[in-house]
A = this chain, B = another copy of it.
Amino acid sequence: MDALRGNAVIGQSGGPTAVINQSLVGVMEAFGSSGAAGKLLGSVHGTRGIVDEQFVDLATIDSGRLDNLAATPSAALGSSRDKPDAEYCQNILEVFKRNDVHTFFLIGGNDSADSARIVDEMAAASGYDLQTFHIPKTVDNDLRTTDHCPGYGSAARFVATAFMGDDRDNRSLPGVKIDIVMGRNAGWLTAASVLGRQAGFGPHLVYVPEIAFSVSQFLSDIEASFDEYGRCLIAVSEGIEDENGISIAQVLAEQLGKQVERDGHGNVQLSGSGMLGDFLADLVRKELPGGISSRVRSDTFGYLQRSFAGYISEVDATEARGAGRKAVALASSGAPSGSVAIRRLSNDPYASEFFRAELADVAKGTKELPRNYINAAGNDISDAFSDYALPLVGELPVIESII
């Protein structure tokens, strides 16, 4: 390994996860032992901190604090939802030049990979020596190329466990219960609702954005579930869409005369409101007969899914840390700019390795839940998904039942 030239910058971007600081600490540790003579500068609030030259010299953080820092949920350097345009990226490059920065690490989702790509291409075009490495993180698990994303396993563990408990709650006081799960336009996190399900228990219905949402089908599905179980626990993605591919939450917000909030990347705000769950619950109350509609509740799991401390997946934490280290290793070895990706080697026992993916491949678009992970009727999740996801969440609680 060659020593890195000059200084390096690291930033965290987009919605945080429970293990995003594992990747930060992974970079800090590996940078510290890489023999690099320069500084590792933490950019405060993502790319915004670069433009504003708000840096923290990460060598000043006591190494005794690193394990606790890694276990702390949500971006310790602060995050940002800025979408860098050409001028913004030009400013980033100017700051890099002024601060002798030749290595750029950015932890984030596909929008961040795209920002990293733009800065990297701009540097190349201007003949400036810059290596750029994107380190994946997202609870949505929707990045291309990688088998799965750091951050997903812990969020999926939270969701799976939440449904195990909520199913027993619904079993003890029967009725219709609707739980809204994060994940934007992909059903990966909502699918995790089934990971702790025992035969004959809930969730009884699962709706993901990959299948067009039909109100009439939703209502008849609930009636059928009630006939069979006398109750119905339902997992619904925050990003479910109508047959035209328009998010139901967006349609609702517009109907209610609410301002539809978008981030710099044009993404509509889906989380941080109970609107979708309340709408679906009201629908059931209004449209279904008394036996079914007498007890209807909805919960929106919200930001707990990405920020709950103390209940993370060990596999996820280890991989997130490793992804940070891998980024430094790639940089030190003089590898071309890229995104750290995970390849699954075996499922039992679970094993994985990292590889370098192209920034452009990760930046463009997102990855949907494959059709074979969804049942034929489009209202439940298949065993093939569980085979994929179970190794990522760690051991789930063992629960028992009497009735």
A16-B74 CB under 8 A given contacts A299-B303, A403-B56: no
Q: Is the CB of A397 within 8 A of B71?
A: yes
Q: Does A203 contact B (CB under 8 A)?
A: no
Determine, out of A214-222, A266-274, A377-385, the stretch whose residues face the partner at the interface: A266-274
| A297 contacts B311, C-beta separation under 8 Å | no
Q: Is A309's CB within 8 Å of the partner chain B?
A: yes
Interface 1/0s, chain A 274-296, versus B by CB < 8 A? Answer: 11011001100100000000001
Q: Is the CB of B78 within 8 A of A403?
A: yes
The reply to whether A165 and B307 contact each other, CB–CB distance below 8 Å, is yes
Would you call B303 and A169 a contact (CB within 8 A)? Answer: yes
CB-defined contacts of A165 to chain B, threshold 8 Å: 18, 73-74, 303-304, 307-309
- Contact among B16, B76, B397 with A173 in the assembled complex (CB-CB below 8 Å): B16
Map CB proximity to B onto A167-184 as digits: 1 under 8 Å, 0 otherwise. Answer: 011011100010000000
Q: Is the CB of B298 within 8 A of A79?
A: no
User: What is the minimal beta-carbon distance from A390 to any residue of chain B, in angstroms?
Assistant: 15
Interface residues of A in 121-151 (CB under 8 A from B): none
A198 to chain B, nearest CB (A): 11
A75 contacts the other chain (Cβ, under 8 Å)? yes
Residues of B within 8 A of A172 (CB): 12, 16, 45, 74-79
| Contact residues in B for A282 (Cβ distance below 8 Å) | 258
Interface residue total, chain A, C-beta cutoff 8 A? 70
> What is the CA–CA distance of A166 and B309 in the complex, to the nearest angstrom?
9
Shortest beta-carbon distance from A102 to chain B in Å: 23
Interface of A is mostly: loop
A10-34 near B? 1/0 per residue, CB < 8 Å: 0010011010000000000000000
Q: Is A373 an interface residue (CB 8 A)?
A: no
A300 touching B274 by the CB < 8 A rule?
Answer: yes
Whole-angstrom CA separation of A258 from B286 in the bound complex:
11
Known: A273-B281, A309-B164. A16 touches B402 (CB 8 A): no
Q: Which residues of B contact A56 (CB under 8 A)?
A: 402-403
Q: How far is the CB of A6 from chain B (nearest CB, A)?
A: 22
The 4 closest A-B pairs by CB, nearest first: A274-B274, A272-B297, A299-B302, A165-B307
Q: Please name 14 further chain A to chain B contacts, defined as beta carbons within 8 Å, in addition to the given A61-B402, A68-B399, A166-B307, sorted by A numbering.
A: A16-B168, A42-B402, A65-B400, A73-B165, A74-B168, A75-B173, A76-B400, A164-B309, A169-B303, A271-B297, A272-B281, A273-B274, A274-B274, A301-B302
**Which chain A residues have a beta carbon within 8 Å of chain B's beta carbons?**
12, 15-16, 18, 42, 44-45, 56, 58, 61, 65, 68-69, 71-81, 161-162, 164-166, 168-169, 171-173, 177, 258-259, 271-275, 277-278, 281-282, 285, 296-304, 306-311, 396-403
14 sampled A-B residue pairs with Cβ under 8 A:
A16-B168, A45-B172, A71-B397, A73-B169, A77-B402, A161-B308, A162-B304, A162-B307, A169-B303, A258-B282, A271-B297, A301-B302, A309-B399, A310-B397
